[in-house]
C-alpha cells in the first residue's frame, strides 16, 4: 500500500464548478499535512497547509480527518487557472515529506 494515495484523475470540470479531491495516508503517526500545486513541467508550490480544525483560503478549503486518515481539498468557483496537478503531502516526521502522485484537474471554459 502506498503511503499517500490519491485518485490521479483527471477531473474535468467547467468554470465555476466546485470540485473536491481526497487523499488517504497510511502512517497514523503522520504529523502535518499539505496540499501543493504543480503545473506541467514546473516545480511543486505550496497551496496550503492542512490543520486539524480545517482551514480555508479564499476559494480553497482543506480538511483533515485523523480518525479515517484522509485529507480533502475543496475548490469552489473553479477558474481556468486552477488547472494543474494537486499533490497531497504528508510529513511523517524526521524532516521527510511523502508526496502522493497527484490529482490532475482540468477546468474548461
Partner 1 sequence: DAMVIQNPRYQVTQFGKPVTLSCSQTLNHNVMYWYQQKSSQAPKLLFHYYDKDFNNEADTPDNFQSRRPNTSFCFLDIRSPGLGDAAMYLCATSRDGRTTDQPQHFGDGTRLSIL
- Residue ranges binding partner 1 (CB under 8 A): 4, 8, 31-32, 34, 41-46, 49, 87, 91, 93-97, 99-102
Beta carbon nearer to partner 1, 14 or 94: 94
Toward partner 1, which CB reaches closer, 49 or 72?
A: 49
* Secondary structure (H, E, C), the chain: CCCEEECCCCEEEECCCCEEEEEEECCCCCCEEEEEEECCCCCEEEEEEECCCCEEECCEEEEEECCCCEEEEEECCCCHHHCEEEEEEEEEECCEEEECCCEEEEEEC
Toward partner 1, which CB reaches closer, 32 or 72? 32
Amino acid at each position: 500500500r502506498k503511503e499517500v494515495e490519491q485518485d490521479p484523475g483527471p477531473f474535468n470540470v467547467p468554470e465555476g464548478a466546485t470540485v473536491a479531491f481526497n487523499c488517504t495516508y497510511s502512517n497514523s503517526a503522520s504529523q502535518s499535512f499539505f496540499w501543493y500545486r504543480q503545473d506541467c513541467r514546473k516545480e511543486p508550490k505550496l497551496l496550503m497547509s492542512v490543520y486539524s480544525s480545517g482551514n480555508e483560503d479564499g476559494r480553497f478549503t482543506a480538511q483533515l480527518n485523523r480518525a479515517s486518515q484522509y485529507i480533502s481539498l475543496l475548490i469552489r468557483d473553479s477558474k481556468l487557472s486552477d488547472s494543474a496537478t494537486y499533490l497531497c503531502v504528508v510529513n511523517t516526521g524526521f524532516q521527510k515529506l511523502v508526496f502522493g502522485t497527484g490529482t490532475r484537474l482540468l477546468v474548461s471554459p
